[in-house]
Amino acid sequence: MAPGIRFNRAIPYEKLSLVPALLVFLGMILPLHAQVPQLINYQGRVAVNGTNFDGTGQFKFALVNTDGFTTCWSNDGTGTGGNAPRRQPFPSPSPRASTPCSSAMPGLPKTTISQLAGKRYTIILPAPDATLGHGYATLIVTTKGTGTLAGKLADGTTFTTTSQIEDDPTDVSNWLVPVHIPVYSGSGGMVAGEVLLSKTEPAGAADVTGSLGWLRPPITNAKMFPSGFLKSLDPLGERYQLIKGSSLLTGTAATGNFTLTAGPSGTVLPVALNQAGTWPMTNLPLLNKPVTSSLKLTFTGTTGVFKGTFSRTVIGKSVSTPYEGVILASPLTLPEGTAPVRGGGFFSTGNASGPVELTSP
């Protein structure tokens, strides 16, 4: 494909004024010529829940190349790796020059790659509001200095991408993983932004942070969110290590205790489900008896992912409800949480989603 410039279609900016859910579909591609033109025309459509938007809004602008991984220009000069700018909306009082557009991808020195290679992280994508559970992801750093991010959004949509890891241009204490993932089978959906990896991994703080925009387009006849939405996700995660003979919850051979909580979530699960259990050094969690709502729990130590089912009553009948998420190596407090969690994810009813959290004393 010939190189080109296109308008960045996903804007992970949570402070868009006057719009509850701004769906941005701007996909014009302009060919590059021998000389960069002084004036570039662009066009597109801005809609709110499928209705054309007319009013004052705050936006961030970036021009990226056709593969979506190289930023040619952004309104304040902070956009890198195909991501939206980080600072004030356009126009910027003092715009900074951006790195010239090139097909070459940024990278890390070999010494840094050798330090990072093989590291794994488990990440919670905290629920953006009360209508959803927590999404989750895992991230693996390869020997080529790339990061493979894979997981599920809280509506059950799977995603995966591999991006070149680079130094964070605005914070020397972080590495940056650009994220640009089309979702929903080419219908215009997108997960885009950045995942940040702490270089120091300080105790008591998240090893993984960042900012993502989640664009779910209107989908006719969809059972869940047919009108679509644009939401912000703020990843939180920890470096993941499974040590043989050591419980993930205690970090020693001692057995840890935990409580798995599902919900509450609207009318689908108005009362939270709570199930206690133990987490031994084998890292095969055991549920205390009696088991609530026929709950089942499995854990995959190589990935940090847990899955299971529980029963809920729908019109007098028992219905099996699946749930899934990831375990964190250390406790973290989610944005709307009151206590640190050791794991997070979501349950799905097919037409609704709710939070699942694992806590440990």
Cis omega before residue 331 (within 30°)? no
Q: CA 115, CA 141: separation in Å to the nearest integer?
A: 10
Burial of 330 (0-12, 13-18, 19+ CB in 10 A): middle
Average pLDDT, the chain: 81
Both tokens assigned to 107: 């990278």
**Alpha helix (H) ranges present in the chain?**
110-116
Q: What is the pLDDT of residue 118?
A: 93
Residue 2 confidence (pLDDT)? 33
* 177 membership: H or E segment, kind and range: strand 174-183
Per residue in 197-219, pLDDT tens? Answer: 999 998 889 999 999 999 999 98
Structural contact between residues 129 and 100, judged by C-beta atoms closer than 8 angstroms:
no
pLDDT digits (tens, 9 = 90+) for 291-320: 999 999 999 999 999 999 999 988 889 999
pLDDT tier at 28 (50, 70, 90 boundaries)? very low
Round to the nearest angstrom and report the end-to-end CA distance of the chain: 54
Cβ neighbours of residue 222 closer than 8 Å, sequence gap 6 or more: none
Choices 1.10.10, 2.40.128, 3.40.1620, 3.30.43: CATH for 110-239:
2.40.128
CA distance 4 to 2: 6
R_g (Cα) of the chain, nearest Å: 22
Q: pLDDT tens digits, residue range 327-345?
A: 999 999 998 877 899 999 9
Higher pLDDT, 25 or 236: 236
pLDDT for the residue numbered 59 = 67
User: Is the model's pLDDT at 148 over the cut of 60?
Assistant: yes
What are the strands of the beta sheet with 71-74, ordered from one edge? 29-31, 4-7, 62-65, 71-74
Question: How many percent of the chain have pLDDT more than 70?
Answer: 74
Binning pLDDT at 50, 70 and 90, where does residue 76 land? low
Q: For the whole model, what pTM was predicted? A: 0.74
Tell me what pLDDT residue 99 has.
Answer: 46
Beta strands 286-287 and 296-300 are unpaired
pLDDT of residue 81: 66
Q: Is the per-residue pLDDT at 105 higher than 50?
A: no
State which of 52-61, 94-103, 284-293 shows the largest mean pLDDT: 284-293
- Is the Cβ–Cβ distance between 173 and 159 less than 8 Å? no
pLDDT value of position 309: 98
Higher pLDDT among residues 56 and 224, named by residue: 224
Instruction: Decide: helix, strand or coil at residue 317.
Output: strand
Residue from 113, 120, 103, 167 nearest 144 by CA: 113
Under 8 Å between Cβ of 213 and 191:
yes
The vertex-292 CA angle with 125 and 330, nearest 5°, equals 35
